[in-house]
Amino acid sequence: MRKKKKSADVTVRIVRLAHGAGLPLPAYQSDGAAGLDLLAAVDAAAPLVLVPSARALVPTGLVIELPEGYEAQVRPRSGLALKHGVTVLNSPGTIDSDYRGEVKIILVNLGEAPFEIRRGERVAQLVVASVVRAKLKISDALTQTARGAGGFGSTSDKEKAKKKNPESAPIKKAKSKRAKSKPSRARKSARQ
């Protein structure tokens, strides 16, 4: 029997703002969940209606303090996306460790019907992750790879070509060879 590997815990300090009072704190919905569900802290008497193609900034009523070396990513909830076409517009949104404002979610309705966001509605997920800071270094050249500069679907194009002819080597652009043409009579007579 395999031992269950426990992930490392990190403490995130949180302040609940007045308009978030009474709402549960974000919570994991299962033992293996990566994201905490974020709730809408909208007025109970005035739900937010998101019409098709509209976007809105949804408050959570929370301010968080992430430890240095961590970020929080705001991600969509798959159920809202599938059932209603409602998703996080800047997905994933990034909350940096030095941000001390309210956590708000930019939701967009890509569905065909208006969507009502009620107080306490689970509208997004919050995933806390460690951050690696990059050190940029100017170089004259980079290492070569089989993929090279191919992007925007180039790897799937190569896969399609392999399926058509699995014996073929990687696709390379053919160099055009110009056929040597005989000089025309007009050019011959001009030279004479």
Enumerate domains of the chain plus CATH numbers.
31-130 (2.70.40.10)
The Cα–Cα gap between 37 and 107 comes to 14
Global pTM value: 0.73
- Could you report the per-residue pLDDT of 112-160, keeping only the tens digit for each? 999 999 999 999 999 999 999 999 999 999 999 999 888 888 777 666 6
Residue 13's nearest CA partner among 94, 76, 97 is: 97
The Cα–Cα gap between 121 and 67 comes to 27
C-alpha neighbours within 13 Å on the C-beta side of residue 58: 34
DSSP characters over 106-127: EEEE-SSS-EEE-TT-EEEEEE
Q: How confident is the model at residue 1 (pLDDT cuts 50, 70, 90)?
A: low
Q: Write the CB contacts of 66 (distance below 8 Å, at least 6 apart in sequence).
A: 12, 72, 95, 96, 97, 128
Helix (H) / strand (E) element for 191: namely helix 185-191
- Residue range 71-91: mean pLDDT, rounded: 96
